[in-house]
Amino acid sequence: MLLYALRRLLYLVPVAFGVSLLVFALVHLAPGDPISAIVPPDAPKEVVDKLKEYYGFDKPLPVQYFRWLAVTLTGDLGTSIGTGRPVAAEVASAFGNTIILAIAATLFAFSLAVFLGTSAAYAKSRIVDRLVTMISLMGVSVPHFWLAIVLVIVFSVEMGVLPPMGLGPENSTGWRLDWPHLKHMILPTIALSVIPLGVVTRTVRSTVKETLSMEFVTALQAKGMRDDQILRHVLKNAAPTCLAVMGLQAGNLIGGSILIETVFAWPGTGFLLNSAIFRRDLPILQGTTLVLAGFFMLLNLTVDVIQTMVDPRIKRG
Amino acid sequence: MAIQSPTVDIAAPLVRPTVASASRGYWPSVGRRLRRDPVTLVCAGVLLLIVLSSIAAPLLGLADPYKTSMIRRLYPLGSPNHLLGTDELGRDMFARLIYGGRLSLFMGVTPVVCALLIGGILGITAGFVGGKINMAIMRVMDVFYAFPSVLLAISLSGALGAGTENTLLSLTLVFIPPICRVSESVTTQVRGFDFVDAARASGASALTIVRVHVLGNVLGPILVYATSLISVAIILAAGLSFLGLGVKPPEPEWGLMLNTLRQAIYVNPVLAALPGVMIFITSICFNLMSDGLRAAMDVKA
């Protein structure tokens, strides 16, 4: 178990190296010089050269990469061009807000998906099954940023019961666990959870259905086991597949929250990334992408390890 | 909008009808099954309508989708001369929704087609050649897999800057890895079958084996998977335009229209939601069609 986790961690090293290369390349993909984002176009050449030297842009690319990597590994992600504050601090505070929203959305989506998927698989009537299949189809097909706008129109503009944007009431500087803050979370959480809800419902339904048709279920029934006890066995067997999909969805949800955070002006990483793009604040763009990708990798690793814990049949290695 | 994990079992399509009397072959029987599937037919019809109307938009006698009018801003639905009202600059919404299909569909389908070509070739090569080349190609793909797909698309577009070409480029890059993975796993399975060994033993060159024996068995699952990506691509492309990273104004495009109409949600909320309805309908139809295709081609994915 532990050995497997360690081996996976080791395997992550080359991937992480590739990720760092890609993130580094982001800045150099940008049209023109990275420097041109900072200085006005009519700046004298000496100033530009000075700045290039200061940021190390006059060195060859491989040298620049390894210098950047060395600095980044110490936790220093550079300085924001827009605000002048360290990127690490900006990303850290935004990341917290994103995680809060992500946890709420995954909890909501996954619990509802397990319930819906299981009831569809168990359903005797076709109506329930059809209904659940339709819900999951809607979930994977709906443009979630549009759904966010529709939610705002219905609940904020027309009914006026929920706030349309922001982290909390006016002057709120940070998230707290109280009703006004929770009220601000309801709409973004729903909008963010539709995609994972659709995908996971679909997976749970098909996996549970497949498990139900296995022989061991018939054996348990013949043995006279109660239905709710059988359900536990079925869910346990369906868990590994569902967990794998859930892990992927949880990570994608964090990436997908960019659009939702923009609609609701939720001060998370997505909102930060979006405003960085428009201010051409490349260090923030780079830092946010790196942190999110790193988190995604660790999440996938964790899911893999959990999977081997849940399912002793998976012998990795 | 998430790309689902590509696990494909291709054992099914290989089992072709072996009835001696009425052997129809694989593709004709797929077509027959599709013709008997009402849901898929309806979706195909709706999609055909959307595609044809957006292609033929200039011939339909619609209002000029670019003509602004300061007096006629945000007319409600059902106004005379403006069936679906007018947008925040007084442009006819119906015309813009029809014209919008051109860019929205183009930007959803093109990246998947490009990724299908590039990812398919890479995946089939990796799967067929195996060994070190497989390692090299698939490890590079792993790097792209370390990013959530939406994040990768937005970061790339953000760095490259707004514009249609850049959006197409970044979306193509996002879709290459999943298609490559599916192609690789399917090809690896096919490579293990006896008929490939037989072909090799009879002296067929690698290229011939791929062309004659591998492609026919691999193309089905890859195509089915690619069609399921189109709805993701359309939503993602619209999302990028919604963020201001894709199509630039004043071009009509559904995602961009959603963005610019956001200021109107207090004045005319139904109007502001209309472009999203178009995206929703298109994406549902593509998803249902992909499901129908999967059932008809008997691919388990």
pLDDT surpasses 60 at B4? no
- The shortest CB-CB distance from B155 to any of A26, A245, A252 is to A26
Cβ distance B265 to A149 less than 8 Å, yes or no, reads yes
pTM to 2 decimal places: 0.85
The pLDDT score that the predictor gives to residue B212 is 84
Distance of alpha carbon A82 from the chain centroid: 25
Predicted confidence at residue B6, as pLDDT, reads: 53
Q: How many interface pairs between A and B have CB atoms less than 8 angstroms apart?
A: 154
pLDDT band at B299 (very low <50, low <70, confident <90, very high): low
Q: What confidence tens digit (pLDDT) does each residue in A250-267 have? A: 888 888 888 999 888 888
Q: What is the 3-state secondary structure (H, E, C) of B218-238?
A: HHHHHHHHHHHHHHHHHHHHH
Query: Each residue of B87-121: pLDDT tens digit?
Result: 777 788 888 888 888 989 999 999 999 999 999 99
**What are the backbone angles phi and psi of residue B9, rounded to the nearest 5°?**
-115, 115
Three-class SS of residue B190? helix
- pLDDT tens digits, residue range B117-133? 999 999 999 999 888 99
Which residue of chain A has the CA closest to B276? Answer: A146
Task: Work out the pLDDT band at B175, boundaries 50, 70, 90.
Answer: very high
Closest residue in B to A285 (Cα–Cα):
B155
Domains in chain B (CATH in brackets) are 29-297 (1.10.3720.10)
What is the predicted pLDDT for the residue at A115? Answer: 93
Closest chain A residue by Cα to residue B282: A141
Question: Residue B145 burial (CB < 10 Å; 0-12/13-18/19+)?
Answer: buried
Residues A40-70: b if buried by 16+ CB within 10 A, e if exposed: eeeeeeeebeebbeeeebeeeeeebbeebee
Q: At what angle do helices A87-122 and A227-264 cross, to 10 degrees?
A: 140
Give residue A289's Cα distance to chain centre.
Answer: 12
pLDDT band for B301, please (50, 70, 90 cuts). Answer: very low
3-state secondary structure of B9: strand
CB contact under 8 A, B231 and A15: no
B21 pLDDT exceeds 60? no
Question: What was the pLDDT predicted at A108?
Answer: 94
Token pair 């917290």: residue = A96
* Nearest by CB: B159 against A262, A285, A293: A285
Residues of B with CB below 8 A from A144's CB? 1, 235
The C-alpha atoms of residue A215 and residue A225 are separated, in whole angstroms, by: 14
**Nearest-CB residue to B265 (from A157, A196, A292):** A157
Q: What is the pLDDT of residue B124?
A: 92
Q: What amino acid occupies position A187?
A: L
Asked if the Cβ–Cβ distance from B272 to A149 is below 8 Å, we say: yes
Which residues in B120-136 are b (16+ Cβ under 10 Å) and which e? bebbbbbbbeeeeebee
Q: Distance between CA atoms of A285 and B154, rounded to whole angstroms?
A: 10
B272 touches chain A (CB under 8 A): yes
CB spacing of A29 vs B156 below 8 angstroms: yes
The predicted structure's pLDDT at residue A172: 66
Mean pLDDT of A99-117: 92
B22 vs A60, residue with greater confidence:
A60
- When comparing pLDDT for B24 and A17, which is higher? A17
Q: What is the pLDDT of residue A159?
A: 85
pLDDT of res. A124: 76
pLDDT at residue A315, as a whole number: 59
Which pLDDT band, with edges at 50, 70 and 90, does A109 fall under? very high
The verdict on a CB contact (< 8 Å) between A252 and B148 is yes
Contacts of B142 in chain A (CB under 8 A): 15, 18
Contact flag B146-A199 (C-beta cutoff 8 Å)? no
Phi (first) and psi of residue A86, to 5 degrees: -60, 140
Question: Per residue, what are the HEC states of A150-166?
Answer: HHHHHHHHHCCCCCCCC
What CA–CA distance (Å, rounded) separates B226 from B163?
24
Q: Is B243 on the interface with A (CB under 8 A)?
A: yes
CB contact under 8 Å between B139 and A15, yes or no, is yes
pLDDT 10s digits, A162-183: 887 777 777 666 777 777 777 8
**Residue A317 predicted with pLDDT over 50:** no
Residue percentage of chain A with pLDDT more than 70: 92
Per-residue pLDDT, A41: 67
Taking alpha carbons only, the member of A145, A88, A98 closest to residue A287 is A88
Is the model's pLDDT at B22 over the cut of 70?
A: no
Structural tokens at position B71? 């007096």
List the single residue in A29, A30, A143 with the smallest CB-CB distance to B279: A143
Average pLDDT, rounded, for chain A: 84
- Nearest-Cα distance to chain A for B207, in Å, is 31
Binary contact (B262, A149; C-beta < 8 A)? yes
For chain B, what is the mean pLDDT?
84
- Report ipTM (2 d.p.): 0.84
The pLDDT of B257-277, averaged and rounded, is 85
Percentage of chain A beyond pLDDT 90 is: 15
Residue B288 with chain A: CB contacts under 8 Å: 137
